[in-house]
Amino acid sequence: MRDNRCMARASTFLSHHSNERGDRRSPPWLGLSYIAAYLVLDWISFIDPVGPFGITPWNPPPGLSLAFLLAYGPRQAGWVFLAALLAEFVVRGGPAPVPILIAMSGVIALGYAALGVVLRHRFAVDLRLITLRDAVLLLIASTCATGVIAASFVGVLVASGALPAARFLPGMTQFWLGDLIGVVVTTPFLLVLADREHRRSLRPDALTVAQGLAILVALWVVFGAGFQDPNAFFYVLFLPLIWIAMRHGVAGTALANLAIQLLLITILALVPVPSASLVDYQFLMLTLAATGLILGAAVSERRMIAQQLRDKQFELDRSLRLASASELASAMAHELQQPLSALGNYVRASAVMAGRSDVAPAEIAATMQKALAEADRAGQVVRRLRDFFRGGTVHAESIDAGELTAAAAEVVRERARRHAVQVVTELEPGLPRIYADRLQIEGVLQNLLMNAIDAMKMTAPPHCLSIGIHGAKNDMVLFTVEDNGPGVAPEIADRLFGHFETSKPHGMGLGLAIARSVIEAHGGRIWHEPRSPGSAFRFTLPATKRHG
Amino acid sequence: MADGVVHIVDDDPAVRDSLDLLLRLRGYRTRTYESGEALLASADALADGCIVLDLRMSGLSGLEVQQQLAARRLDLPIIMLTAHGDAGSARDALKGGAFEFLEKPADDALLLQAIESALDAGREKRSQRMRRAEIAERMERLTPREREVLSHVVAGHHNREIAVALDISPRTVEVYKAKLFDKLQVERLPDLIRLVLDVDLPRLRNDDKGNP
């Protein structure tokens, strides 16, 4: 019974969590802005068309559409349809009867919506494109989808008689390549622009100018150096792209791809090329963009993993520090017992002296002075202990209570599994962020969770450990850690947060005392409530807005 | 007030000084050592009394000092003091022959009581040691033949059995026994046996504890 409830609550939490990176909310002006951008892009890129139709060597509007659908979900397909249809009239003046234009626009809207759904929901592609897997999936899925869309689009034109059947294959090929290049160049660039981290990594530095120059030099070598066949030296363009990919990851590559693409189009518009070699350039452009994207994503992924390793190491160090709290307490006990021991002896000696007539008062005073020095020494030890657990200062920041709890729960997950403890988390939706020192609060949560698991080891299963996070009055957030273990013995319940109180045979009883000082240093409160069976520990922390 | 010196070993000057002061005020004779090494260096002075030894010190630990004292056959009772009473070191100390194991800050009455009984035990050991030395000296005077007869007597054999075993007449056995009684300064057979047991049994008991 209890287990089932645990499971149900756990799965609710999980689904809540995975939805966090879900569709963005769409403001009302969004669709109109998209249409405007689509029309502008379509108008700019309507170069070298096949007949009067939107079949061009470089077609960025689908890239915009795909980024739009990926970011805001397939429900935006209506806007895509509208944009495609409007473009036919505004940019190309209605080149075919309205039903055919509707069919063409429908093919585009449906096709890219489907591609978006497949990428987001079938393959769960991370829109930041910071893994090799995500970049490769985007390339492969886009290649397939644009192929199907191209066949359908040109198929509609041929079926309606707007295009001769003989031109189906070359038309489709060009449409396919044009759309694919548009997607491969435009979509990653827009996705990169939408991510704050990526935008930050794109800030220009001293090397940016050099990298831009390298691209120009490479283009000059390909087109300006006077070689007979520019195609033969196209590979020179890979060099600056590789440099940028190695240095800036996928964000830099996306930007460089776009820049190279625009420059190429400009050059091709100025330098007359035979239309046969146009297809060659399309292939070269596609290869260049895809290679850059894959390399950039690989670099980004390696960096991300390196960063994660560093973070993990840092957190591990910190948790080791907490884990060694018991050894530390033992060492500190020794440090503290020495002065206390001497202090006691001096005071006892003074008492003995005071009862004697043959001892001069000055001698008693000297002994009391020594006792005082020992009291000071004990005080210093305590201050050192406190500084250690503070890590010097409280480094407070605005943090997400759910993430914090998930991180703490992750640390005890293995231990919970070993003792057959079901861990469930109940997170009240729409909670404000809390203002706290992440590592310290994580330590407190870990401590409470460990205590709960240790307590439940003593009773028969089922073991249910529940973590609750709820809003509380006065802009506070309330954390609850509840177990169904044996509970806290009444005789120690009211001294629970004092030093050296423990029900564990091997514990030093410092955990809850430290937890209390951490919580109170944050302006919160921690307390214990008996449950039948088990016990609940609750603490409050201030929500962020109170501080800022 | 007991006689015998209390040897205080602690690397913390305040702890050493305060305990020294307190014990002297209470009438004990004391000597202080800043380390286990210092104690071992003046081992000649460790003839009597007891040792109050801190378990955790820089340099030799209390347990190591205890081992080295045992290796030098110095059997002064040791009161081990520790600031963190972990069960492991308490067990090791007591197994190594420590007289008492106390946690710091030690209860005053408890510590005094421990010192008192440790000094008593030290005295007891010393008198035992002296008696043993005296008996050993008497034993020295026995001839090999007399010793042979003694081992049979202690084993509870009758004169006749001893005579057969040593291939002598029962009458001669009587003569040897009289000489034994005379040399070991006892008058009756039970006294003789107790004397022999006094020499041998403590040694046997020490062997049980793993002492050399």
pTM of the model: 0.46
Long-range contacts of A138-142 (CB under 8 A, 24+ apart): A138/A187, A138/A188, A138/A293, A139/A184, A139/A290, A139/A293, A139/A294, A141/A115, A142/A66, A142/A115, A142/A180, A142/A183, A142/A184, A142/A187
Q: Reduce the DSSP state of residue A220 to 3 states and report it.
A: helix
Which residues of B fall within a CB distance of 8 Å from A338? Answer: 12, 14-15, 83, 104
Selected residue of B17, B21, B55 to mutate for chain A interface (largest A Cβ count, 10 A): B21
Angle, helix B170-183 to helix B159-166, in steps of 10 degrees: 100
Contact criterion met (CB below 8 Å) for A527 and A521: no
**Residue A350 to chain B, least CA–CA distance (Å):** 9
- Is A320 exposed, middle or buried, given 0-12, 13-18 or 19+ CB atoms closer than 10 A? exposed
Give the per-residue pLDDT at A5: 43
Q: Which two tokens stand for residue B207?
A: 């062997």
Nearest CA in chain B to A327: B84
According to DSSP, residue A23 is labeled P
Judge: A338–B104 Cβ closer than 8 Å, yes or no: yes
Selected residue of B12, B53, B89, B107 to mutate for chain A interface (largest A Cβ count, 10 A): B12
Which residues of B fall within a CB distance of 8 Å from A505? Answer: none
- Is A323 exposed, middle or buried, given 0-12, 13-18 or 19+ CB atoms closer than 10 A? middle
Q: Read off the pLDDT of residues B62-118 as tens digits, 9 standing for 90 and up.
A: 888 888 888 888 888 899 887 665 667 777 778 777 888 888 777 888 888 999 998
Which residues of A fall within a CB distance of 8 Å from B14? Answer: 338-339, 342, 370, 373-374, 377
Q: Which amino acid is at A245?
A: A
Residues β-bridged to residue A399: A434
- Is A430 exposed, middle or buried, given 0-12, 13-18 or 19+ CB atoms closer than 10 A? exposed
Contacts of A107 (CB under 8 A, 6+ apart): A149, A152, A153, A156
Question: For residue A217, which of A201, A233, A232, A205 has the smallest C-alpha distance?
Answer: A233
Task: Please enumerate residues of A whose Cβ is less than 8 A from a Cβ of B.
Answer: 330, 333-346, 348-349, 352-353, 367, 370, 373-374, 377
Q: How are beta strands A434-436 and A397-399 bridged, if at all? A: antiparallel
Selected residue of A338, A343, A372, A376 to mutate for chain B interface (largest B Cβ count, 10 A): A338
Question: For residue A442, which of A308, A322, A312 has the smallest C-alpha distance?
Answer: A322
Give the per-residue pLDDT at A7: 40
Report, in angstroms and rounded to the nearest whole number, the Rg of chain A calculated over CA atoms.
34
| Dist. CA A465–CA A451, nearest whole Å | 11
Provide the ipTM. 0.70
Largest Cα separation within chain B, whole Å, is: 73
| Regions of chain A where pLDDT drops below 70 | 1-26, 48, 50-54, 226-228, 230, 272-277, 313-332, 334, 384-395, 494-495, 498-511, 545-548
According to DSSP, residue A228 is labeled S
Write down the mean pLDDT value for chain B: 82
Q: Which of residues 60-119 of B touch A (CB under 8 A)?
A: 83-84, 86, 103-106, 108
- Is A238 exposed, middle or buried, given 0-12, 13-18 or 19+ CB atoms closer than 10 A? middle
Query: Which range (A76-85, B9-18, B111-120, B194-203) has the least confidence?
Result: B194-203
Selected residue of B6, B23, B81, B104 to mutate for chain A interface (largest A Cβ count, 10 A): B104
- Is A29 exposed, middle or buried, given 0-12, 13-18 or 19+ CB atoms closer than 10 A? exposed
Q: Which two tokens stand for residue B202?
A: 């403590």
Q: Which of residues 12-71 of B touch A (CB under 8 A)?
A: 12, 14-15, 17-19, 21-22, 25-26, 56
Selected residue of A326, A334, A341 to mutate for chain B interface (largest B Cβ count, 10 A): A341
Nearest CA in chain A to B26: A352
Number of Cβ within a 10 Å radius of residue A138: 27
Give the per-residue pLDDT at A26: 67
Report, in angstroms and rounded to the nearest whole number, the Rg of chain B calculated over CA atoms.
23
According to DSSP, residue A509 is labeled S
**Residue B61 to chain A, least CA–CA distance (Å):** 14
Nearest CA in chain B to A329: B84
Give the per-residue pLDDT at A273: 65
Give the per-residue pLDDT at A522: 81
Distance of CA A4 to the CA centre of its chain: 31
Judge: B15–A341 Cβ closer than 8 Å, yes or no: yes
Give the per-residue pLDDT at A196: 86
Candidate from A333, A345, A367 with C-beta closest to B19: A345
User: With b meaning 16 or more CB within 10 Å and e meaning fewer, what string describes A263-278?
Assistant: bbbebbeeeebeeeee
Candidate from A342, A352, A353 with C-beta closest to B18: A342
Number of Cβ within a 10 Å radius of residue A446: 21
Which residues of B fall within a CB distance of 8 Å from A378? Answer: none
**Residue A483 to chain B, least CA–CA distance (Å):** 30
Judge: A370–B25 Cβ closer than 8 Å, yes or no: no
Which residues of B fall within a CB distance of 8 Å from A345? Answer: 15, 18-19, 21-22
| Dist. CA A290–CA A140, nearest whole Å | 10
| Dist. CA B40–CA B65, nearest whole Å | 8
- CA dist A12 to A7, A255, A422, A425, Å? 9, 40, 14, 9
Domain with CATH 3.30.565.10 in chain A: 397-546
| Dist. CA A188–CA A179, nearest whole Å | 14
Judge: B15–A344 Cβ closer than 8 Å, yes or no: no
Residue B139 contacts A where some CB pair is shorter than 8 Å = no
Judge: A340–B84 Cβ closer than 8 Å, yes or no: no
Which residues of A fall within a CB distance of 8 Å from B56? Answer: 334
Candidate from B17, B22, B83 with C-beta closest to A337: B83
Which residues of B fall within a CB distance of 8 Å from A367? Answer: 21
Judge: B17–A377 Cβ closer than 8 Å, yes or no: no
Give the dihedral sign, CA A329/A334/A335/A338.
Answer: positive
Give the per-residue pLDDT at A147: 95
Residues β-bridged to residue A427: A469
Nearest CA in chain A to B56: A334
Domain with CATH 1.10.287 in chain A: 326-390
Judge: A341–B86 Cβ closer than 8 Å, yes or no: no
Q: Give the A:B interface size as CB pairs under 8 Å.
A: 65
Which residues of A fall within a CB distance of 8 Å from B86? Answer: 330
**Residue B105 to chain A, least CA–CA distance (Å):** 4
Q: Which amino acid is at A44?
A: I
Model confidence at B58: pLDDT above 80: no
Question: For residue A19, which of A89, A123, A124 has the smallest C-alpha distance?
Answer: A124
Topology annotation, domain A326-390: Helix Hairpins (1.10.287)
Candidate from B21, B26, B108 with C-beta closest to A367: B21
Q: What are the structural domains, with CATH classification, of chain B? A: 5-125 (3.40.50.2300), 141-208 (1.10.10.10)
Contact criterion met (CB below 8 Å) for A265 and A107: no
Q: Which two tokens stand for residue A125?
A: 């592609």
Q: How are beta strands B5-9 and B29-33 bridged, if at all? A: parallel
Judge: B17–A338 Cβ closer than 8 Å, yes or no: no
| Dist. CA A290–CA A268, nearest whole Å | 20
How open is the CA angle A437-A439-A442, to the nearest 5 degrees?
Answer: 105
Q: Which amino acid is at A401?
A: A
DSSP-H helix ranges across A391-437: 401-418
- CA dist A362 to A349, A367, B179, B204, Å? 14, 9, 69, 55
The CATH number of domain A397-546 is 3.20.20.70:
no
Long-range contacts of A308-315 (CB under 8 A, 24+ apart): A315/A407, A315/A439
Contact criterion met (CB below 8 Å) for B74 and B39: no
Candidate from B26, B84, B104 with C-beta closest to A352: B26
| Dist. CA B123–CA B127, nearest whole Å | 6
Give the per-residue pLDDT at B191: 84
Q: What is the dihedral of CA A154, A157, A163, A166, to 10 degrees?
A: 40
Model confidence at B167: pLDDT above 70: yes
Which residues of B fall within a CB distance of 8 Å from A349? Answer: 18, 21-22, 25
Selected residue of A340, A345, A359, A506 to mutate for chain B interface (largest B Cβ count, 10 A): A345
